[in-house]
Structure 1
Amino acid sequence: MDCSRQYKLEAVRNPFLCECKGLLEVIHDFRSLDSERLKREFDRRLSERMTNYSSGVWRYKELILPELPDAYITTKFEGNTGMYDSDRVAKYAGIRKLMLKAQSENPSGSFKDNGMTVAVSHGRSAGYTRFTCTSTGNTSSSLAMYAAIAGCSSYVFLPNRNISMNKVLQTLAYGAHLLSFNGTYDDGIRFSETNSEILGLYVCNSINPFRIEGQKSIIFEIAHQLRWKLPDWIIVPGGALSHATALGKGLQDLLDLGFIDRLPKVAVIQAEGANPFHRMVAQGESKLTPELQPFTRASAMNIGNPPSWKKALHYTVRQTNGVTASVTDEEIMNAKAVIDQSGIGCEPASAASVAGLKKLVEEGVVDREATAVCLLTGNMLKDTDAIREYHLDSMSEGIFANKIIPVSLDFESLQGYVPNL
């Protein structure tokens, strides 16, 4: 991304940094592809069962990693997640039509599976049996799951604060080696960049360009579900910014191939306590200034120095004429309550997309008559402490709090609580 140096695929080595120390990206040559034939093939693969092509990622293999031998593909049939109309959430956000893409329905409960299946598969093809990541939760649980399926081992560097214990327990259950350290996510990433190859560990964080290729499948699946007619806006939470990068990169692929005839705008939403990317864009700066002590209740976004910021700026903000926004933890938690009570549910970081859309509509950036897709990145059970704190804690000021009602099991007592009893 920095110096435009080119490498052949087989020459790419972990931890995926150029000689100039910039991040690498995968560039495909799509000139030999027939888009109409591919559309028909993608439709045909929807009927596949228990094969690599029944995965919502590997269904689009020609656009992701066509060179990978099938024998190395490690899949749990990820993707294939629902996209839901919700009048209730649309009304809350103030927009005419809103769809929610529930990546929370992935096997490990988050969007990280779309990228992790490709990262682990590529790592295996390169001869690795030990995989690593630094994570506040979702990346680690996804990596641990795929490594276990492949019969490989995983080593997770875990910051010892501002994390969700639900995700830590999930990672432990899948058999990962958890290494807790005193520091931030950014400290762990720097350690991996310096030491992973010496330790024989294949890095599966978002600095890995093959993870980005896998995460592109999310926008491919959205477009496929909508018969290649995309909405006006796509709203995505921004932590490490790999998700935003992948969406923008995937959108450009679809446009170049003629699958779509225009690019929707993309809005990247960050939490107020960890929003260095938003600050950079809002202030018109060309370089990101890290947040040294990031903190947000949405733990998946608790990243002060997002490694993919240059890619996200290029592919997502500039290329789609997109925007950024910053929302408070209170706005995130209120949006989460609305999403949960619509029957879909999500973890706090996911709800930043709806909270951000609401703010952008109120500010007049997004027209009330526009159409939008909000990405929900993680399952609501990823952070049950957040649910308890919002709904049950005595200090909670959640405007949509749903309290437990103590009752006596007799008819007269219940009459006041159950309509028409």
Structure 2
Amino acid sequence: MSQARFACLQCTRTYDWLELRYACDCGGLLEVKHNDPALRQLPDKAELRLTSRKPYDRSGVWRFREGVLPLPESMIVTQNEGQTTIYESAALNQWAGHSNLTLKHEGENPTGSFKDRGMTAAVSMAKRLGMPVVACASTGNTSSSLAAYAARAGLKAIVFLPAGKVSQGKMAQTLGYGAKGMAIRGDFDDAMQIVRDLANAGRVYMVNSLNPHRIEGQKTIIWEMLQDRNWHAPDWIVVPGGNLGNTSAFGKAIDEAYEWGWITKKPRLATIQAEGANPFFRSYTKDFSSLEALTAETIATAIRIGYPVNFPRAVRSIINTNGVVTDVTDTEIMAAKTAIDHAGIGCEPASAATLAGVRKLVKKNIIGPEEDVVLVLTGHMLKDPDAILKVQTLDCTEVDANVDAITKALDRV
């Protein structure tokens, strides 16, 4: 029997994990706490499940389900999320001034971003709780993921997006899966407040990362990476920072893996923000004494957030892993993106903040040039093709349609 509970990060109160709530009565954020001695053997069970033909066993989330959300199999809404690749690239090592980088590409998930890991958990919970309408605020990726998983579950999806600040590719995905979109005359933080108000009024089930079940799904990025490395933890894990759901989830995943004896050391977390959307970095420079909202602006739309709602969880993750936070400019982000794209891997701009951040941290001697570093790429290259075209012209030579002309053109290339 599951021994999971909701626990408040701010006070000592706990709740049934199946209760419909997003926060403690004191206002503090909630997390799912697992207290089952059998979880120490979960890696062995997860390994066996890889030989199964059942979708929820193959899933990079649900193969760990006892440590995520112990739901009945009939309630699981899955699209075979996870199972993402870990890449090596000598060219990217050289670009970053490093010798031991690998990149886990969450853009290989069904809708093209890491959000699918959290969404499979949140939408499965909506189904379990009998909530017919699910909603989110989004800069694009969350809405695409919600729309797809809600469609699979037969639920109605409503997404609130900042008007004019979402890439057309992400918007097309969202609408294509059948969600109802509402463009808010404001920024992401305005949209987020609307969803919170509607959820508190019982009108919708909120699936943003304030929902603690989202964090449970996203933490499996780390567990799957560790499984693929035979549970040998790296020295560093580097992640982009926007609303800080992944920073929160990664810290929780590391703490639990260490507590349950899956790993013998804790990797250090490095959260990288865009310079134009860096409230977490600014707080870090003040020892997290406060968080000041700002009007966010960056080409990396997936992390263009001025007031991250997961701040308390993320602070704990950085402190518990002896981690660091830094920021990089849009120019640095796009230079890193070009390097990743030209390595044949590809990613959206927010993902490239990780490589730009590693280069900066190596130059500052914070990350050693030979330390074992895993970068998490959070979104697919096609999530934001407009960003590529803003900084690169189409390199295409116009020639006559005959072999002689083409041969001469090739000689000039």
Structure 2-normalised TM-score?
Answer: 0.95
Aligned-partner Cα distance in 1 for 2:90–2:248:
29
2:360 paired with 1:353:
no
Q: Counterpart of 2:4?
A: none
Contact 2:121 2:216 in 1 (8 A): yes
Q: Deviations over 1:32-65 (max 9, x none)?
A: 2163x43322111112224311111000011101
Contact 2:271 2:325 in 1 (8 A): yes
Q: Counterpart of 1:298?
A: 300
- Quote how far apart the aligned CAs of 1:417 are: 5.1
Q: Aligned to 1:26, what secondary structure does the other structure show?
A: strand
- Quote how far apart the aligned CAs of 1:194 are: 1.9
Q: Counterpart of 1:224?
A: 227
Q: Counterpart of 1:13?
A: 20
Q: Counterpart of 2:34?
A: 28
Q: Aligned to 1:230, what secondary structure does the other structure show?
A: coil
**Mind listing any 5+ residue stretches in structure 2 that lack a counterpart?**
1-8
Number of matched pairs: 405
Q: Percent identity?
A: 43
- Quote how far apart the aligned CAs of 1:407 are: 3.0
Q: Counterpart of 2:48?
A: 44
Q: Counterpart of 2:5?
A: none
Q: Could you tell me which amino acid in structure 1 is paired with residue 120 of structure 2?
A: T
Q: Counterpart of 1:243?
A: 246
Give RMSD over aligned pairs. Answer: 1.6
Aligned-partner Cα distance in 2 for 1:416–1:336:
32
2:68 pairs, out of 58, 64, 69, with 64
After the TM superposition, which residues 161-172 of structure 1 pair with which residues of structure 2 at under 5 Å, given as runs?
161-172=164-175
Contact 1:162 1:302 in 2 (8 A): no
Q: Deviations over 1:383-408 (max 9, x none)?
A: 1101111211xxxxxxxxx7223333
Aligned-partner Cα distance in 1 for 2:293–2:247:
18
Q: Deviations over 1:57-100 (max 9, x none)?
A: 0000111012x121110000100011111111111111111111
Q: Deviations over 1:91-132 (max 9, x none)?
A: 111111111101000000000000100000011111111100
User: Residues 58 and 409 of structure 1: is their aligned pair in 2 closer, same or farther, counting only changes over 3 Å?
Assistant: same
Q: Counterpart of 1:395?
A: none
2:377 paired with 1:376:
yes
Q: Aligned to 2:398, what secondary structure does the other structure show?
A: coil
Q: Aligned to 2:231, what secondary structure does the other structure show?
A: coil
Q: Counterpart of 1:344?
A: 345
Q: Deviations over 1:170-209 (max 9, x none)?
A: 0000000101110111112112222224352100001000
Contact 2:236 2:269 in 1 (8 A): yes
Q: Could you tell me which amino acid in structure 2 is paired with residue 311 of structure 1?
A: R
Aligned-partner Cα distance in 1 for 2:186–2:39:
49
Structure 1-normalised TM-score?
Answer: 0.93
Aligned-partner Cα distance in 2 for 1:39–1:319:
23
2:181 pairs, out of 178, 188, 213, with 178
**Mind listing any 5+ residue stretches in structure 1 that lack a counterpart?**
393-401
Contact 2:39 2:67 in 1 (8 A): no
Aligned-partner Cα distance in 2 for 1:180–1:358:
37
Q: Could you tell me which amino acid in structure 1 is paired with residue 20 of structure 2?
A: R
- Quote how far apart the aligned CAs of 1:413 are: 4.5
